Structure 1
Amino acid sequence: MVRRYDVAVVGLGVMGAMAAWQAARQGASVIGLDRFAPGHGLGSSHGGSRIFRMLLFEGAPYVSLARTSLGLFRQLEATSGAGLLDQCGGLLIGTRDGPAIAAARAAARLGGIDHRVLEGDALRARFPQHTLDEDELALYEPTAGVIRPEAAVRAAVAAAATCGARIEPGARCLALDEDGQGTVITTDTGVHRARTVILAAGCWTAGLLPDLALPLRPQRSVLTWFRPAAGGARAHGPARFPVFVRRSGDRQGWGIPDVDGLGVKVGLSGPASPKRWLDRPEDNWTTPPAEAETAPVAAFVRRTLPGLLPAVASAQACMDGRTPDGHFVVGIPARRPGTVVCGGFAGHGFKHAPAIGLAAAQLALEGATEMPVGAFSPDRFERSERSGRPVRSDLGGRRAGPAPRSRGVHP
């Protein structure tokens, strides 16, 4: 007998886990499916630590998403009893007149985000771990910090189960077939039916919707850790070394303090980032990190973080799903009215996951959401193809999705 659900969540990485929790806590009948166990290290939701920040330069909707996510992270901590977010503070380092600093200041005005401007001798005295030039300053955000990714995924999945969701790890989704009455989800362990599907399968998302030809490409991202020089461990812990993002000309990177004894986690962004496209997500598992992927990060460390040994202490493969315009995909495609698509989080989505999960649950159950995800519609790519113009996102805050649908509970 094929069981029926209000919502089937396909993929229980951080986005799917949060969506399952939100849908189940609203009283819906939910099944969560994933080919791996919650908190696994084969997708995009692992790596020991992630950055949380609200002083953002990616666009106005992201500020609102981060604020909502902060409250939901705290709710999930209270529900699970686990520590998920350590607000140790954060730095945005950039050139005084650079675009990142200007955009972050605009975000601070928009969202009323507490921050302080640090420059010159004051900046060097407080954070001597960084090599700083005369034309650089930093915005310090006390609300920023470190998220524990694997713990967050497991906590959200457990919270969904506590609210009545059925969780099935080890179930690989093979096909999603809408038939006018819902969607039939075929996995390698069985068949299920749901009124609505939330598809949050990370780098596998586009492959499960071949008819939409979504331009979501998997990109390999090698995570790297560096040890402090002798006597520098305390200076690089969360009490004295906040998370940071740097946008200074050709010095573009980020870092997370040593929160687990493995070292300081450092990565690159921008043109110098040694990331390559993957033909298949599975290819990421079989290729160990290579020196060509880690050497540019070591060079960044040598240039900007003199208290760290510029030799990679450890490295781990991760991957991101990316869109042509660099923005998320969250919404209901016109040609797939029974599917909420969540993807394209490009390595900076983890901090927004609770809000994205809430948006996905609202879209699945009501057909619309209060979250500002209108600019992330999956249909924007089709509109661009028809017009012959490049994809652009207005990053507006309109509601997304078709007219509300009724929510029934099926046995």
Structure 2
Amino acid sequence: MTSPPAIGARAPYASDPRQSRGRRAAEPDSPTRSPFQRDRDRIIHSGAFRRLQYKTQVFIYHEGDHYRTRLTHSLEVAQIARSICRVMRLDEDLGEALALAHDLGHTCFGHAGEDALDHKMAPFGGFDHNAQTLRILTKLEKRFAEFDGLNLTWETLEGVVKHNGPLVDAGGKPLKGDGPLPAAIVEYMAEQDLELATHAGPEAQVAALADDIAYNNHDIDDGLRAGLFRLDDLRDLPLVGEVLCAVEAKYPGIGRERTAHETVRALIGRMVDDVLTESRRRLAALDPRTVGDIRRHHSPVISFSPAMAEQDRALKAFLWSRMYRHDRVNRMTSKARRCVRDLFDLLLAEPQCLPADWAKRAEGPGTARTARLVADFIAGMTDRFAIEEHARLFDISVTT
């Protein structure tokens, strides 16, 4: 039996919970858990995390029990992130917390729902799922007596906001898009500086790569299960075709389902190994002594190799054309966009149709404050609730 790799003490450039910059609202330390472990546990126990069970990645929730949801995806990302952090001697609990939190701000109906809500919110500052995650973690979750949100550590909030890289340049100019930063991030920055011009710590960079690895490979699995493409369609893809052929040579005649699973399993292993090899190379070149060295570096330290990044792009292009733009998916996402648009238009014009505890916070029809309230309400919906709420509001025969 092969022994697992020996894991040493925490690397000097890892995030150290004993050196955390703390929480916005001061709290006594836990006698049994590190600050990052408490963050992870608060995320798991949040209402937003539970709702991920009925928020979808690509397929609407009622299309089958075997397709990924935001919840199962987040758990898979957390497993990959924790494994990478362990081998690289980073803080596993912070990596896991960031992986579990990264999709909390997504709307119902996957990216179709987000696109529809962003379009409707364009006159009111737009909608961004990363900013919505920050809003959930710092304001919308109302579980504690002494503060709104979950009162997470600075490191967790920084990682949520910056896991894909800096948001502004050294002069404060936004790096992505032509517009300003999302309002939720600007508002929070007035209370706590998340240092938007630097990269996030290494655990957040791991979580971002783990997300990429998980959704690409598991979308292969879901796409095959849904019949949107076949195993034979993967043969010409770089890396994927090579791994598929190796699986078939090693396990001839095991059937399509087992072949698909073994291929996805091997692909995840290849990608994780590549991240470990490339990241070690970059770390050796940088020789960071503190986590600050990682943040201040001009590029990510946790990364795919250039060759793997190219193979990853080829896989994304395949999934874009063969899965995300498949006619079955197009029809479903068209319905989803209409559902979100209908809900937004009605509730913005008639905020009295919101549930009572939401309606009392509305400012009036058509205002920016009401628009953000409606966006919060819709963004928190599961697929199932959005479908049912649309029927309640638009189908005159539905009364409850």
TM-score normalised over the length of structure 1: 0.27
> Whose strand fraction is larger, Structure 1's or Structure 2's?
1
TM-score normalised over the length of structure 2: 0.28
